[in-house]
Amino acid sequence: MRLGLKLVLGFFLIVGIAAFFVMRVFVNEVKPGVRQAMESTLVDAANMLAEMAADDLKAGHIADGAFAGNVAEAQQRDPKAWVWRFQKRSVDYRVTVTDAKGTVVFDSQGRDVGRDNSRWNDVYRTLRGEYGARSSAEAPGDTANTVMHVAAPIYDPADRATLIGVLTLSQPNRSIEPFIVASQRSILLRGAWLIGISALIGVLMTWWLMRGIGGLNRYAQAVSAGEPVPPPRPRTDEIGDLGRALETMRRKLEGKAYVEQYVQSLTHEMKSPLAAIRGAAELLQEPLPEAERQRFARNIQTQEQRLTETIDKLLALAEVEQHGWLQRRERIDVGALANDVVQDLDAKLTPRDVTVERLPQAGTWTVEGDAFLLRRALTNLLDNAIAFSPQGGKVALAVVEHDGQVRFVVRDRGPGVPDYAQERVFERFYSLPRPDGGQRSSGLGLPFVREVMRLHGGEASLANRPDGGAEAVMSLPMI
């Protein structure tokens, strides 16, 4: 299934479920809401009528007095009213009055006079000083049509503390049924519009997202096929960020910026030795004493070695930098690797009388990675320490464990790292003068170490020791 179709279906599912439950709640709340409003109106009207009926009830003329006549006249009225979209042509109220014992003494419809209503909830609760109301069937057994009854106490006009009767005001619930049905239909209609608009918005949003994603997909397919293609259209959202990231990745994969940078760096580093070689070669073309001739010849050889070393190290650094992951993985005994590196360096230590001390190891640890790269990285650290050690100095190599990591620690007794160089020692082609006045290195050893650590998920650092000299550390995750 296509991603766009999944998004549309998912949006419809979420909106549909939410709309169904919300609309169901609204529709179900219409009927009780309207009936509660009607009950509130009946409460007000019942209390007003109770005050009007008090005099006739006390005088014993509730059935044939002025109150009864007014009620009869009111029920004969034709309101000729239009409520919302419905015409109202009659007064639906029914008025019932009982005495203090609950016996009906007045009924506006003339049906229940003399009946004992003291057990009905509206009369029973009102006679006890509480709010009384009930909803019952219009006719026995008729559950579809109900009537709401709201009662109000009738007090003695001369003594407001004396209850002399109860007035019950009734209205059939069917009189408000058209309004309930119309409200529910209106909610359903508006809900349908809401779902339709939401669906339209969802389709538009899906189209907008898929337009951006589709463009990125076509761009990636074209790049993978090697076809020339312009970068994705600029956008200010996450899709735009992804497009820019893909374009940057494409440029890096093609290697244009990478090659340009290395060509410029290599050109800069080759100028000095080439100039020295050119100068010595020009001088050698002239008649020179043998001693001078030998000195210029050695200079040419030295500069040639410097060029060769720079190119070799630059190629090695480029090889590790272009990889985003390790090409080969194996379990490596770090102790054995450290011992092999120290043995390989023995031949290099003799000319400057510098010794490497392999410190005791407290345990046996293994890491996962490329043994060849790790060996070259550790060799670079030791070469660097040897180059900066004084004549007859000592370089210490320790392998320790700390917080789940294995650390190769190389310590020397050289001059340390100047403050101005602390942040630059891992830059390509950055090197410091040797203590013995020898020529600078290529400045590629420490960057190589850093890149090897990156491939292995580790870190490389170089700092000064409190008691003099420098300390270089390679940290690797232990397995």
pLDDT of residue 257: 46
pLDDT of residue 327: 67
Q: Tell me if 475 sits within 8 A of 458, measured CB to CB.
A: yes
Q: How far is CA 135 from the centre of its chain?
A: 53
Percent of the chain exceeding pLDDT 90 equals 35
* Residue 224 or residue 354, greater confidence: 354
Class of the domain covering 3-182: alpha beta
Q: What is the mean pLDDT of the chain?
A: 83
The pTM score is 0.44
Is 33 strand, coil or helix? helix
Banded pLDDT at 407 (limits 50, 70, 90):
very high
DSSP states along 369-437: E-HHHHHHHHHHHHHHHHHTSPTT-EEEEEEEEETTEEEEEEE--S----GGGTTTTTSTT-----TTS
pLDDT over threshold 90, residue 266: no
Assess if CATH 3.30.565.10 describes domain 326-477. Answer: yes
CATH fold of 255-322: Helix Hairpins (1.10.287)
* Range 254-263 average pLDDT: 52
* Residue 348 or residue 131, greater confidence: 131
Distance CA 233, CA 171 (A): 69
Quick: pLDDT tens for 59-69: 999 999 999 99
- Measured CA distances, 456 to 48, 217, 327, 377, 406 (Å): 90, 32, 11, 12, 12
Q: Tell me if 294 sits within 8 A of 335, measured CB to CB.
A: no
Q: Which of 110-119, 258-267, 290-299, 415-424 has the lowest mean pLDDT?
A: 258-267
Closest CA to 426 of 475, 376, 388, 463: 463
Distance CA 273, CA 281 (A): 12
Q: Tell me if 187 sits within 8 A of 23, measured CB to CB.
A: yes
Distance CA 217, CA 210 (A): 10
Q: Which amino acid is at 120?
A: W
Domain coordinates in residue numbering, the chain: 3-182, 255-322, 326-477
Quick: pLDDT tens for 181-235: 888 788 778 878 877 887 788 788 878 878 888 888 887 887 777 665 677 777 7
Name the strands in the sheet holding 104-107, side by side, starting at the edge strand that comes first in the sequence.
104-107, 94-99, 159-172, 146-156, 133-137
Q: Tell me if 63 sits within 8 A of 98, measured CB to CB.
A: no
pLDDT of residue 287: 82
Highest mean pLDDT among 209-213, 246-250, 295-299, 396-400: 396-400
